[in-house]
Structure 1
Amino acid sequence: MGTSNNDLYFNWEYLPGKQAAVKYRVYGPDSATTPPLLFIHGYGGMLEHWDLNIPAFSDTHRIYAMDLLGFGGSSKPNIRYSLELFAAQIGAFIAHHKLDKPVIIGHSMGGASGLYFAHHVPEAVRALVMANPSGLFADTMDPMAKAFFGLIASPMVGELMFAAFANPIGVSQSLMPTYYNQKKVDMKLINQFTRPLHDKGAAWAYLSPSRRPDDFTLEHLPKPCNYNKKAFLIWGAEDTALPPHKIIPEFQQTLPQAGAYIIPKAGHCIHHDAHQAFNARLRHILDHEL
């Protein structure tokens, strides 16, 4: 079985008496003897952002990809979004599908969410593959950026700025700095990232990192953290937001067992920006490192 375009949903009780629909897709043979793979997108993303990656592995692995709550096609309730919430969603998804120790492959905030989950439930994870993960920042944010995020943390200003951003022009301007190969930021990708912004409640999730930045950091995890099994960092050399020479040492304090692989001519969205090189590295990990 190859790539599937069938959207599936399961109802997750994220709080007692409160349910939300989680969108996901399943790919690959259900009889695969290889470890299951669980793909987790980054901030502002959706499972379709893995479209250049999943087909490369769907002949050999059972693959799952889902939209985090508040993003993509999942529900967008007015709740407190955080890495803790997303880690709980990962745990609920694994339990719902009875996955046997999946390899969690996460980009940016998805990588941070996967690590947060693995720290708290290490026995449920076979390996972590983190593509330009967020959560540790090594004081990379300059004073102007800090002032900007402080400004949009104001509810009124934040709502106005979100409304101004939630259109193809705003999305294009936000995506461009995350790519080295900016031709990849085409209208298909821009429209893909724009559509969820118009869903009811989208602003609650999208503004959460600026309003409660501490809810999206891994700084409070012990060094090293509780997860001591296989872990891999794959980084785009041209990531200006999370430069590898500053951030990788931070992650290796938390995950001293994690090797780092830097891909040249790739930005923050490494899995899409340089998908062939990313897929080759992931294939090496799956075939030779696990």
Structure 2
Amino acid sequence: MNALSTDLFLNWEYEKGKNARIRYREYSQPKTDKPSLLFVHGYGGMLEHWNQNIPLFAEKYHILAIDLLGFGGSEKPNARYRLSLFAEQIRALLVHKNISNVVIVGHSMGGASGLYFAHENPDIVEGLILANPSGLFGDTMDPMAKAFFGLIASPLIGEVMFAAFANHIGVSQSLLPTYYNQKKVDLQLINQFTKPLQDKGAVWSYLSPSRRPHDFTLEHLPKPCNYRNKAFLVWGAEDSALPPHKIIPEFQQLLPQAGAFIIPEASHCIHHDAHETFNARLAYILSHEL
């Protein structure tokens, strides 16, 4: 990409008296005529999951990509992980880089975190582009899934199951349902998602959504939320975990101004699963809608 796309780190005080190193990357220099773009990955992901998206925009826009606390190359302390914490992390990075005008591109949990940040800081965000965002689930979780998450919420069973799944086979089995194009789940992607699972403290962040599910929902936000600027929902038609026909109307209660664009033959990891179509839609939004 360019000379600025190497790993950078921010020492962030995530709780009073507690600091952690946050990994991010920066592409190009800030532009006077365009907002910065901030890419925020989903649960279990990392900034490299945007590798088929960022290069297309890196010459034209100033871009930041971040690893959320507990994921990717960021530290993984024993903290209370939650959307509000990730929103605080986003704010810390933007303050660190002196950015007051940003478009957030967020996938899944990263989309929910970006929306939470925009709700609390509406004047900073020029646009929200949410790719299969999580945070609103309705009645989409079947009884078997609820029973499973109940099991891994138990500290002892959860850690045993984490150890069982924190390997190439477990990662492959977890990723395949999130892709329509199964060939995209190759060894490179599996290695990319497996490596952070071996880090010290990974068990704390990866099990947090099952142990404290309410910390990862947007249900308590007012409808509509405080963010009133432009918003866009981009969804994979084949996302069985967050089916668009059920979840999009819920997000449009939070963001009535948000239009929805559904990409066929794409599942939950839409930005990587169908990267060419996703990139074309993102380019259109950035050029014609913002």
Q: TM exceeds 0.5?
A: yes
Superposition pairs of residues 139-288 of structure 1, within 5 angstroms: 139-288=139-288
Q: Is the 8 A contact 1:8 1:24 kept in 2?
A: yes
Q: Which deviations, in whole Å up to 9, do the C-alpha atoms of 1:156-186 show, x marking residues without a partner?
A: 0000000000000000000000000000000
Is 1:136 the counterpart of 2:123? The answer is no
Q: Is the 8 A contact 1:3 1:55 kept in 2?
A: no
Inter-partner Cα distance in structure 2 for 1:284 and 1:183:
27
Q: Is the 8 A contact 1:76 1:201 kept in 2?
A: yes
Inter-partner Cα distance in structure 2 for 1:63 and 1:32:
13
TM-score by length of 1: 0.98
CA-atom RMSD in angstroms? 1.0
* Equivalent position of 2:114 in the other structure: 114
Inter-partner Cα distance in structure 2 for 1:127 and 1:135:
19
* Equivalent position of 2:82 in the other structure: 82
Q: Is the 8 A contact 1:76 1:205 kept in 2?
A: yes
SS at match of 1:123: coil
| Per-residue deviation, 1:17 | 1.3
Q: Which deviations, in whole Å up to 9, do the C-alpha atoms of 1:13-67 show, x marking residues without a partner?
A: 1111111100000012444632110000000000000000000000100000010
- Counterpart of 1:197, as a letter, is L
Q: Is the 8 A contact 1:108 1:132 kept in 2?
A: yes
- Counterpart of 1:281, as a letter, is R
* Equivalent position of 2:9 in the other structure: 9
SS at match of 2:26: strand
Superposition pairs of residues 61-76 of structure 1, within 5 angstroms: 61-76=61-76
Structure 2, unpaired ranges of 5+: none
Structure 1, unpaired ranges of 5+: none
Inter-partner Cα distance in structure 1 for 2:32 and 2:56:
15
Deviates more, 1:46-55 or 1:24-33: 24-33
* Equivalent position of 2:34 in the other structure: 34
TM-score by length of 2: 0.98
* Equivalent position of 1:126 in the other structure: 126
Q: Is the 8 A contact 2:47 2:67 kept in 1?
A: yes
Q: Is the 8 A contact 2:30 2:36 kept in 1?
A: no
* Equivalent position of 1:47 in the other structure: 47
Inter-partner Cα distance in structure 1 for 2:276 and 2:254:
28
Identity of aligned residues (%): 71
Q: Is the 8 A contact 2:10 2:23 kept in 1?
A: yes
SS at match of 1:144: helix
Q: Is the 8 A contact 1:29 1:59 kept in 2?
A: no
